[in-house]
Amino acid sequence: MLYFLKLALSTHRPFTYFVFSKICPETDVFISWIDSTSQHNDFIIKEESASSKIHLELSLQKSTGKLLFAESKADFVEFLFGFLSLPLGTVIGTLTKGAFTSRCMDNILRSISHMSVGKYLKSQDIKDMLLTPHFGQKYISKNQIFPLNGVPLRSDEIENNDIKIDGGFLKQSGMFLVTDDLTITPSSLASSIDLLKKLEVAPEDIERCEVSISLKEGLSMLKESLRSSSILTKSLEHQVKK
pLDDT of residue 32: 45
Res. 135: pLDDT tops 80: no
Q: Is residue 20 part of a domain?
A: no
DSSP-derived letter for residue 81 is: H
Q: Is residue 215 part of a domain?
A: no
Average pLDDT over residues 26-53: 49
Q: Is residue 169 part of a domain?
A: no
Burial class (CB in 10 A: 0-12, 13-18, 19+), 180: buried
Q: Is residue 114 part of a domain?
A: yes
What percentage of the chain exceeds 70 in pLDDT? 63
Q: Is residue 166 part of a domain?
A: no
Q: Into how many domains does the chain fold?
A: 1
pLDDT of residue 164: 46
Range of the domain at 93: 88-134
Q: Is residue 43 part of a domain?
A: no
Average pLDDT over residues 158-182: 73
pTM greater than 0.75: no
pLDDT of residue 15: 64
Reported as type and span, the H/E element at residue 218 is helix 215-224
Q: Is residue 116 part of a domain?
A: yes
Average pLDDT over residues 133-145: 66
Average pLDDT over residues 106-132: 89
Contact 99, 90 (CB under 8 A): no
182 Ramachandran zone, left/alpha/beta (phi>0; psi -120 to 50): left
Contacts of 32 (CB under 8 A, 6+ apart): none
Q: Is residue 38 part of a domain?
A: no
